[in-house]
Amino acid sequence: MVVNKFVQESVLKSYQCDRYGFMRPITLMNELQGLAGEHADILGAGRDVCLSKGIAWVLTHMFVDIVDMPRAKDRLVYATWPAVCGPVRSERDFEIRDEYGNLKIRAISQWVLIDLQTRRPVRISDHFPEWTGLPERVWDREFDKCPDFVPTRVRVMACRFDDIDVNQHVNNAVYTVWATESVGFTFRNEHRLRGIDVYFEHEIFPDTKTVRIEVAMDEDETRHKILTDNVEHAKMICYWR
């Protein structure tokens, strides 16, 4: 298998942006997920192929560094590529640049391949023996464990019909919405997002009505737990300026 960078260009639309014209966090996360999916299709390891084998790619970590959040009407160049492939984990990098080559966003992610019946990880080489990666990395950072924290506030969010994706669980990008909304309107209005660390643990399914967001807040960093009953589905750290 020959692995090259997958590159796309597009203009950021106003409906993809917030009240100040900056890219919405959910837009950013959806764009990164979409790039990964399209590139996996090209490499012969996309959703349809995986479903035929009874397996699926599952995102476990996503670390995003927002160097300069894109604005409405920016012409952006998106790139992604597999970077590291282990027995059961594969890492994928992303970068977003403007039309002049200036780095706007960089991100690293970790994925595992799971058996859809057992929900357990399987060896990547058993299904995609030629899966490999490029040595280039956008960020020298390890996928460490998210430290625990003591929450200082709790928000309850609704799981909406449109939060469920074709995989029949809450789309990963929605978790970012819950985290960034849980800090409150005033904080969001006075801060801009400069980074996101996401640690996924368990899926949230369509019959879930509400989720609880436990939050600990500082001026430049907020921590979030996303829970239903006593199940922790994800932890997140949001960095602000």
The CATH number that applies at residue 171 is 3.10.129.10
> Quick check: is 115 in a domain?
yes
Together in a domain, 225 and 172: yes
Confidence of residue 183 (pLDDT cuts 50, 70, 90): very high
Confidence of residue 172 (pLDDT cuts 50, 70, 90): very high
Together in a domain, 208 and 167: yes
Which range of residues forms the domain containing residue 34? 6-127
> Quick check: is 59 in a domain?
yes
DSSP label at residue 170: B
> Quick check: is 236 in a domain?
yes
With contact defined as beta carbons under 8 Å apart, do 92 and 111 qualify? yes
Return the number of other C-beta atoms located less than 10 Å from residue 109's C-beta: 22
Write down the pLDDT at residue 1.
65
Residue 139 pLDDT > 90? yes
Average pLDDT score over residue span 190-194: 96
Together in a domain, 120 and 159: no
- Per the structure block, which two tokens stand in for 124? 């990547």
Together in a domain, 106 and 162: no
Average pLDDT score over residue span 141-148: 90
Q: What percent of the chain has pLDDT over 70?
A: 99
The full DSSP string for 70-107 is -BTT-EEEEEEEEEEE-SSEEEEEEEEEETT--EEEEE
Inter-CA distances, 73 with 6, 22, 67, 94, Å? 22, 10, 18, 21
Question: How many angstroms separate the CA atoms of 69 and 49, rounded?
Answer: 34
Q: What average pLDDT is seen over the chain?
A: 95
With contact defined as beta carbons under 8 Å apart, do 236 and 199 qualify? yes
pLDDT tens string 98-111: 999 999 999 999 99
> Quick check: is 78 in a domain?
yes
* 178: nearest Cα among 198, 206, 152: 198
Together in a domain, 192 and 115: no
> Quick check: is 141 in a domain?
no
Together in a domain, 99 and 178: no
Average pLDDT score over residue span 32-57: 96
DSSP label at residue 169: S
The count of structural domains within the chain is 2
Together in a domain, 12 and 113: yes
Together in a domain, 73 and 163: no
Residue with tokens 């625990």: 148
Together in a domain, 77 and 123: yes
The helix/strand/coil state of 119 is: coil
Write down the pLDDT at residue 189.
96
- Give how far the C-alpha of residue 134 lies from the chain's centroid of Cα atoms, to the nearest Å: 20
Residue 63 pLDDT > 90? yes
Write down the pLDDT at residue 230.
83
Question: How many angstroms separate the CA atoms of 29 and 26, rounded?
Answer: 5
With contact defined as beta carbons under 8 Å apart, do 97 and 75 qualify? no
> Quick check: is 209 in a domain?
yes
Together in a domain, 92 and 170: no
pTM, full prediction: 0.94
Together in a domain, 161 and 122: no
> Quick check: is 138 in a domain?
no
> Quick check: is 21 in a domain?
yes
Confidence of residue 144 (pLDDT cuts 50, 70, 90): confident
